[in-house]
Structures are given as C-alpha cells and as structure tokens.
Amino acid sequence: MSQESMVPVTILTGFLGAGKTTLLNRILREHHGRRIAVIENEFGEAGIDNDLLMQERGEQIVEMNNGCLCCTVRGDLLRILGELRDRREKGELAFERVIIETTGMADPGPVAQTFFLDEAVGEYYLLDSVITVVDAKHAPKQLDEFEEAQEQVGFADRILMSKTDLVSDEDAQTLKRRLGQMNPRAPVKPVHFGQTPIDDILDIRGFNLNAILEIEPEFLEHDHHHHDDAVQSFVFRAEHPLDGVKLEEFLSSMIQVYGNDLLRYKGVLALEDNAHRVVFQGVHMLMGGDLGRPWGADERRESVMVFIGRNLPKDVFLQGLEQCLVKPQ
C-alpha cells in the first residue's frame, strides 16, 4: 500500500499517571472528523480504563490485560491489529487511524518494532509517531529510577509535559532542559489536562527509523526486556458500597506511609448513597476523584481499584479497604 492509503498509528506513552488517558479522552472528544480505533494496555490483572474513556461516538476500543505490550502481550497486539484490518476490509468497522495507549511501565521501543518486524502489519499500518506524556511533578524522580521512563523520552517524536501547574517555573525549565538533552529531536510542549492542538499529535509523520537507530542501534534485533520485579500490581474488588469518609481517611493514611512507592492507583468506585460512579485516580501522594456516569438501573454496582507500586503490603491495603465497606447488618 502507498503511504497515503495506509492506516496511521500513534503510540501514546508516558510513565504511570502522566496523563495519557486524559489526553486520549481529549482526542476522542475533539470534533476533528477522524474515526479512531483505540488499543489500550493495562499492567495488572484488571483494567478499568474503559470506564475512564469517553465512548460517545462508538469508537472501537480494545483492551489488553495481564502484561506489558513489550513482553507477553505483543502477540495479542499483532492479532488485534490483524483483526482490525480484516474487519475494516469487510466493512464491519470504519476507522481511519489507530492509537495505541501503552501501559506506563512499557518501553515503547518493542511496540514500535512490531511495525517493522511483521510484514503484514508493516504493509498496512504506518507508524506515524510516538507521543510521550511526561509528568512535570514526578518525572525527575521517575527518570532517575526507571529505565522505562527514560526509554519513553528517548523514543518520543513529541513530548507533552503535564502538571506544570504543580511545579515552579524554574523546575519546569530544568526538566525541559533535561528532556531536551535526552532527546533533542522531540519538541517539548506543556499540556494542561490534555488540552493540546490535534495537529501537534496526529498526522505529524514524526517517526523516523533512522533517528531511532541512532538512539538504539539494536532496535531491530531481539529485545531482552525485563521489568523491575519490585514493581507489581494488585486489585481490590467489592460488591458492597464503600463508605466515602472511611475510604478517604484510610487512603490518606496509606499515602502518608507508602506515597513514594505508590506509582499509580486508580479505580471506579460505588459509594454509599451516590447514584454516580466515582472515578478515582492518584500518583504518589496526589489523589483525587470525579463523578462519572450514573449507575444503570439494572447495572451491577461494583468497585474496582488497581494499585501499582514498589514492594507494597498488599494484605494491609486489602484488609483496610474491606473495613471501608458498608455491609448489610
């Protein structure tokens, strides 16, 4: 296929909690006339981002759990891209581009490899760009401690710096200089709650294989990627409603003790006497929640919370959350 007729693909990456889903929601809400298929990947046994994503215009959203796109799930990525192609060719789906939102623990290099190492994928899909969202508040520490965070910056065609309102101008400029030293070919721009021009992130033809080979000469060779085993995830599920006051008190106390090791935590909550979902998200010691859509009359009200961090005491978290449930007498 000629480049004009190929389906452009954007890889949206960034460390845990940087604001990838917020940016993706902004893209899906925009009235740009483009139909988008979304592939998203969760690190952990339960994914909840479908509840966080707007699906107002019937976008095709495919979620992959249990693993990282750069490891065990790569076969799933190839399969899903193939299925999307087949359904598009048959007229069952109408989309013009694909966005892959990687887990925050993913090295985007092996994801990009897929489009050069698999002939069928490489002939049909055009890798347009790698967009990396960087959390200005937590990036300096994350870049020091996690190779994945550095890889995400190194592979970027565009870097969007989020949460600049939480740091001083001096700290933001220091981080911007550091990012520029790590990847001088990627423009660095601030982004506030995903608000950035669509033309800066779609159809930019920014992915340049030669530039990537300069960063990592072994790009097209077999990768030996491993995760830090100290970083793990666990899930809390509950069918009984949660007491909002008790929950906030418990989480606040846990954040005081384990905040530095809590990389990412998020969930969709069913609170007592609340007809709406509560969408709950946090990074390290920053935590917040917003009202989501109402629970349906026949819908099962269930809370699901995902915690990702280093050496977290899973039993302490789960037992404490159990104490926040409102159970019938």
pLDDT given at position 225: 52
Residue 268: predicted pLDDT: 87
Residue 10's pLDDT is: 94
pLDDT for the residue numbered 69 = 46
Q: How far is residue 157 CA from its own chain's centroid?
A: 17
The Cα–Cα gap between 108 and 115 comes to 12
pLDDT of residue 66: 42
The residue length of the chain stands at 329
Task: Take residue 316 and report the two structure tokens written for it.
Answer: 């302490």
Please report, as a single letter, which amino acid is at residue 79.
R
- 215, 240, 259 — which closes off a domain? 215
Q: What is the pLDDT of residue 291?
A: 84
Contact criterion met (CB below 8 Å) for 218 and 27: no
The beta strand positions in the chain, using DSSP E, are: 7-14, 36-41, 60-64, 97-101, 125-135, 158-162, 188-191, 231-238, 262-269, 276-283, 286-294, 303-310
pLDDT on residue 63: 55
CB of 247 within 8 A of CB of 317?
A: no
Q: What is the CB neighbour count within 10 angstroms for residue 13? A: 29
C-alpha 316/C-alpha 312 separation (Å) is 9
In the prediction, which pLDDT does 147 show?
Answer: 84
Which one of 170, 189, 215 terminates a domain? 215
Q: With beta carbons less than 8 A apart as the criterion, state whether 275 and 240 touch.
A: no
* pLDDT value of residue 12: 94
C-alpha pair distances (Å), 293 with each of 57, 143, 278, 290, 299: 16, 35, 8, 10, 12
Q: Which of 215, 244, 266 is the last residue of a domain?
A: 215
| pLDDT for res 216 | 66
pLDDT digit string (tens) for the chain, length 329 residues:
667 789 999 999 999 889 998 888 888 877 667 788 888 775 544 455 555 554 444 445 665 544 444 444 567 788 889 988 998 999 988 888 999 988 888 778 778 878 877 889 989 999 999 999 999 999 999 999 888 898 899 889 999 999 999 999 999 999 999 998 888 888 999 998 888 888 888 888 888 776 666 666 666 665 555 554 466 778 899 999 999 999 999 999 999 999 888 877 888 899 999 999 898 878 778 788 888 889 988 888 999 888 878 788 999 999 999 999 998 87
Residues 99 and 148 grouped into a single domain: yes
Chain centroid to Cα 79, Å, comes to 20
Note whether 211 and 296 are same-domain residues: no
pLDDT at 307: 87
Task: Quote the domain boundaries for residue 311.
Answer: 231-322
pLDDT confidence of residue 283: 74
Encoded tokens for 183: 């990847």
Q: Residue 200: what pLDDT?
A: 84
Mapped onto helix, strand or coil, the DSSP state of residue 195 is strand
Assign residue 89 the CATH number of its domain. Answer: 3.40.50.300
Q: 151 and 202: one domain?
A: yes
The residue type of 72 is T
Same domain, residue pair 151 and 17: yes
The pLDDT of residue 36: 86
Assign residue 237 the CATH number of its domain: 3.30.1220.10
**In contact, 100 and 39? CB cutoff 8 Å:** yes
Is there a domain that residue 123 lies in?
yes
What's the pLDDT score for residue 309?
80
The pLDDT value recorded for residue 226 is 54
Q: Do residues 156 and 91 both lie within one domain?
A: yes
Q: Give the pair of three-digit tokens for residue 309.
A: 């961090």
- In angstroms, the CA 78 to CA 98 distance is 13
Query: Cα angle vertex 14, ends 229, 257, to 5°?
Result: 55
Q: Which of 44, 53, 51 is nearest to 12 (CA)?
A: 53
Tell me the CB-side half-sphere exposure of residue 42, using CA atoms within 13 A. 25
Q: Could you tell me if 32 and 137 lie in one domain?
A: yes
| Contact call for residues 16 and 105 (beta carbons, < 8 A) | yes
